[in-house]
Amino acid sequence: MNIRARHDAIVRSLRRNGMTTVDELAEEVGASRRTILRDIGALRDEGFVIHSEPGRGGGLLLDPGSVQTTARLAVTEVFALLLGVAAMRAAGNLPFSGLADSGLAKIEKALPPEKLRDLRRFLDCLHVGKLSPLQDLSNVGTMDPGLLPAFETAFLQRIQLKFRYRDAKGVVTERQIEPQAMLILPPLWYLVAWDPAREDFRHFRMDRISHPEPVDSLKFRQRHVPFEDDVCPYRDLLR
Amino acid sequence: MNIRARHDAIVRSLRRNGMTTVDELAEEVGASRRTILRDIGALRDEGFVIHSEPGRGGGLLLDPGSVQTTARLAVTEVFALLLGVAAMRAAGNLPFSGLADSGLAKIEKALPPEKLRDLRRFLDCLHVGKLSPLQDLSNVGTMDPGLLPAFETAFLQRIQLKFRYRDAKGVVTERQIEPQAMLILPPLWYLVAWDPAREDFRHFRMDRISHPEPVDSLKFRQRHVPFEDDVCPYRDLLR
DNA sequence: ATCTTTGGTGCCAGAATTTGGCACCAATTC
DNA sequence: GAATTGGTGCCAAATTCTGGCACCAAAGAT
């Protein structure tokens, strides 16, 4: 067995059994007592918190808040991580203990700088309305990926966007708007935008939009204020 | 130099220089040509996309969308990742290529099952209204963490919550509500809730809430439907 | 006080893996 | 055809890992 695989096996076993002895681990993993002890030392060096009390019945115990299995992250996963961390940071350090910024900084450093900048700018534009439970997300989200390059351009460069919209009655109109936010309310995507012609905010279901086209050089600003009144503006969303 | 450290060094170098040759890498890293070639093979096996064209001037080029540096994640970081991935999955596979589910499954497996279940249930309750740009998040979010245990209990067990609320005019009232969502609009936190006494949805600024107290055994259901009309219900939030 | 259990360390020889050099092939440019 | 550069197979040397041994420390049982 590989040294890395053995480390993972040890962590898994500790997590599963809650409490074990070195000898049990040695038998389970198929390595000698000495090797297991060396491995535990290495894992501690890497940041795992492994309690041990010689003399008592069961010896080894892994701290549940301890660090996790190694994983090589794809760019999309790093993006997901940044997105999640943005939410976590916005939450102070809400439901759980504070974020380990050091590890995160390492990840950010590993990203190509231009990519990171783009990700951050896109994050600035992306509003997440509702996060569904993870279990239900497999069969969610219907939207044409072909639309996205135009939207990304409009969002990032903050220029107006032109497209055709088919409303609930099937009537098709031509719209030219200033995109303000992308709103995800699974299974649907909405574009929140300022419509200069109607002088009002509108939202558009993404699956009813076609032929999007950025309008060069028509720059605009984004608008956002927190609300004060205690009547819920989301009442239409809830039932 | 360690084999793992060398792999990281190679990836870093490829990312920084954009394009290099095997011999340059060998000299930079301090290893032989043969070893570098072996390492590149290993990195490719791990999922890195490394282009190469023998014969032409510069040979090696790392695909910018390729996988990232290894990182051991703390539990909070895994939570952040799950949160972000939930948003990403909800987005189909929005602005970037599809998520590498295999790696994610590995991370999920590494979490203690109870912890993962709790995280998922809490995710189900947490709505993120607006994600600020990462740069601005340091001085954001004013809310009393002391409030949270009561809210977490109410959300997770889906029971009513009682608290005192001080409105914009300073008038204090006693409320008993059914929490529906936590809304983060930096720098403020809002509780979106159904008020059975008023038979309507209300939202409350978290910093005006005090003395929260779960009301045992008064269970309720959550309510949510996507909206259809194209008039933006968020117009009060935007300016 | 002594024995047993169990974590922990130093040391060293044998086992396993990694490394570097070599010969050689393939594709491209000049 | 020569030069450049990625790529592969092979093997001996270098390096690292592993397992056994002796031994220490702490706690509980007798």
Q: Stated in angstroms, how far is B41 CA from D8 C1'? A: 11
Question: How many other CB atoms are found less than 10 A from the CB of residue A47?
Answer: 13
Across A121-140, b (16+ Cβ under 10 Å) vs e yields: bbbbbbbbbbbbebeebeeb
Asked whether strand D has any atom less than 7 Å from the CB of A31, the reply is yes
The CATH architecture annotation of domain B3-62 reads Orthogonal Bundle (1.10)
Question: One digit per residue, pLDDT tens: chain A, 239 residues?
Answer: 778 788 878 877 776 666 778 888 888 888 888 998 898 888 777 666 677 776 654 555 554 444 443 334 444 444 455 455 444 444 333 332 233 333 344 444 444 444 444 444 444 444 333 333 222 333 334 445 556 557 666 765 668 889 998 887 888 999 988 876 655 444 456 676 777 787 766 778 777 888 888 887 666 655 443 333 444 343 333 32
Residue A7: alpha-carbon gap to chain centroid? 28
Name the residue among B71, B132, B184 with its Cβ closest to that of A106: B71
Reported as a single tens digit per residue, the pLDDT across B184-224 is 444 456 676 777 787 766 778 777 888 888 887 666 655 44
Asked if A64's CB is within 8 angstroms of B110's CB, the reply is: no
* Radius of gyration, CA atoms only, chain A: 25
Asked whether strand C has any atom less than 7 Å from the CB of B42, the reply is no
Q: Which amino acid is at B94?
A: L
Query: Encoding tokens for residue B11?
Result: 């990836």
Chain D nucleotides covered by protein, CB below 7 Å: 3-10, 17-21, 25-28
Fold of A137-219: SH3 type barrels. (2.30.30)
Q: Stated in angstroms, how far is A6 CA from D30 C1'? A: 39
Query: What residues does A202 pair with on adjacent strands?
Result: A193, B231
Distance from CA of A149 to the nearest CA of B (A): 8
Cα-Cα-Cα-Cα dihedral sign, residues A138, A142, A144, A149: negative
Write a three-state SS string for chain A.
CCHHHHHHHHHHHHHHHCEECHHHHHHHHCCCHHHHHHHHHHHHHCCCCEEECCCCCCCEEECCCCCCCEEECCHHHHHHHHHHHHHHHHCCCCCCCCCCHHHHHHHHHHCCHHHHHHHHHHHHHEECCCCCCHHHHCCCCCCCHHHHHHHHHHHHHCEEEEEEEECCCCCEEEEEEEEEEEEEECCEEEEEEEECCCCEEEEEEHHHEEEEEEEEEEECCCCCCCCCCCECCCCCCCC
Asked if B46's CB is within 8 angstroms of A72's CB, the reply is: yes
Write a three-state SS string for B119-151.
HHHHHHHEECCCCCCHHHHCCCCCCCHHHHHHH
Cα-Cα-Cα-Cα dihedral sign, residues B125, B128, B134, B136: negative
Q: Which stretch of DSSP H or E encloses residue B203?
A: strand B200-205
At residue A200, the pLDDT reads: 67
Q: Which of residues 98-127 of A touch B (CB under 8 A)?
A: 98-100, 103-104, 106-107, 110-112, 115, 120-124, 126-127
Chain C nucleotides covered by protein, CB below 7 Å: 5-11, 18-22, 26-29
Asked if A89's CB is within 8 angstroms of B203's CB, the reply is: no
- pLDDT greater at residue B111 or residue A191: A191
Kindly list the domain boundaries of chain A, sorted by start residue: 3-62, 75-111, 137-219
Rounded average pLDDT over B97-111: 38
Instruction: Answer whether A183's CB lies under 8 Å from A189's CB.
Output: yes
Closest-CA residue of B relative to A232 is: B202
Nearest to A84 by CA among B123, B15, B57: B123
Distance from CA of B50 to the nearest CA of A (A): 14
Does the model's ipTM exceed the 0.90 cut?
A: no
Reported as a single tens digit per residue, the pLDDT across A25-82 is 888 888 888 998 898 888 777 666 677 776 654 555 554 444 443 334 444 444 455 4
CA distance from start to end of chain A? 56
B92: left (phi over 0), alpha (psi -120 to 50) or beta: left
